[in-house]
Amino acid sequence: MDIQRPYLLFLGDVPDQLAAKTAQGIVDWRPDWCVGQLRLEGCKADCGLKDMSIGDAAAAGAKTMVIGVVNAGGILPDHWIAKVIEALEAGLDVASGLHKRLKSIPEVVDAASRHGRQLHDVRYTDRAFATGKGTRRPGKRILTVGTDCSCGKKYTALALEREMRKQGLNADFCATGQTGVFISGRGISIDAVIADFISGAAEWLTPAKDEDHWDCVEGQGSLFHPSFAGVTIGLLHGSQPDAFVVCHAPGRKHMRGVEHPLPSIRQVIDRVVLEGSLTNPDIRCVGIAVNTHSMGEQDAQDYLAATGAEHGLPCVDPIRTGMGPIVDNVIKQFHA
């Protein structure tokens, strides 16, 4: 999709910061693509950008209003539609990563047509995928997996790409969610692919490459999450990872949106090896990535050290400490 930049990020009236993770991800990784944010009354999220009206954003050069939120079911609330239409009337394109398609809303389609604007439903593609075959293929792949959803898999994959390139490896980030597609400009929102074709779509996204090339694959969901495990396992089988990194957010009592308790990191490692060996018998865990944002510096360092020692693996925070030790381990295991 050719989504014009810069962006005005629409946060709506979401109830917490995590619900604005699409916008936050764009701000964190592509801040120069953003001119401001638009928040409705009652919004509990703030991405640290200048608050702007649609008119102000258009005057500042914004080209596209990005609906930068996530919610259960990927719905577009009815009271947001007026803002979408206002953006189109002001000369902005509109892009959304929600399940609800902009192109399924008649009044939005009419406004886009009248004003010559583009609608981008980033979660969807017109491409048809084959079913997965599970055939081994050259190239190397590293997948981020989680103890839960929304625990840092995208940030970890992006940080892996950055650190691998810094250390001289040939690496590319492979987006599998709408936020990753906004950040990288390419990829597949894997949770919008028909179930029979998820593993095939993952194979298409991570095709045969040179033996020294790494695809850093953004994980989705969790094998232990009752809502999203189906997407997770299809992505695991199709991406056929040689290596994986477990992502974890400490302090949660339950998995996000359900009453099920979080699995342990060890349970995740064992389950991923078990399930992933179907398409890559040599799959192995190379590190643990922890989101320590809510911890003080010393508590975070102590937690990372203890967790790494417990599992005999490098344990980092992709933002606070960087991915150096995990990439060092990748080089030791695969390039020595």
SS (H, E, C) 144-172: EEECCCCCCHHHHHHHHHHHHHHCCCEEE
Distance between CA 68 and CA 272 in Å, rounded?
Answer: 30
Distance, C-alpha 223 to centroid of its chain: 16
Distance between CA 204 and CA 186 in Å, rounded?
Answer: 13
**Which of 283-312 are b and which e, b meaning 16 or more Cβ less than 10 Å from the residue's Cβ?**
bebbbbbbbbeebeeeebeebbeebbeebe
Cα atoms in the 13 Å half-sphere on the side-chain side of 149? 23
Sign of CA dihedral 141, 147, 150, 155: negative
297-311 vs 265-276: helix axis angle to the nearest 10?
Answer: 50
Ranges of residues in the chain whose predicted pLDDT is under 50: none
**Tokens 């992709």, residue?**
318
Question: Parallel, antiparallel, or unpaired: how do β-strands 93-96 and 64-67 relate?
Answer: parallel
Strands (E), 21-176: 34-39, 64-67, 93-96, 119-121, 140-146, 170-174
Region of 206 please: left (phi>0), alpha (psi -120 to 50) or beta. beta
Distance between CA 305 and CA 316 in Å, rounded?
Answer: 9
Distance between CA 239 and CA 203 in Å, rounded?
Answer: 6
Kindly report, as residue ranges, where domains of CATH 3.40.50.720 are found in the chain: 7-121
**Tokens 């996530």, residue?**
70
pLDDT the model gives residue 51: 98
In this structure, the number of other CB atoms found within 10 A of the CB of residue 4 comes to 13
CATH fold of the domain at 7-121: Rossmann fold (3.40.50)
* Contact in structure between 187 and 174 (CB atoms under 8 Å): yes
In this structure, the number of other CB atoms found within 10 A of the CB of residue 233 comes to 19
CATH fold of the domain at 140-334: Rossmann fold (3.40.50)
pLDDT the model gives residue 185: 77
DSSP 78: G
DSSP 51: B
pLDDT the model gives residue 1: 64
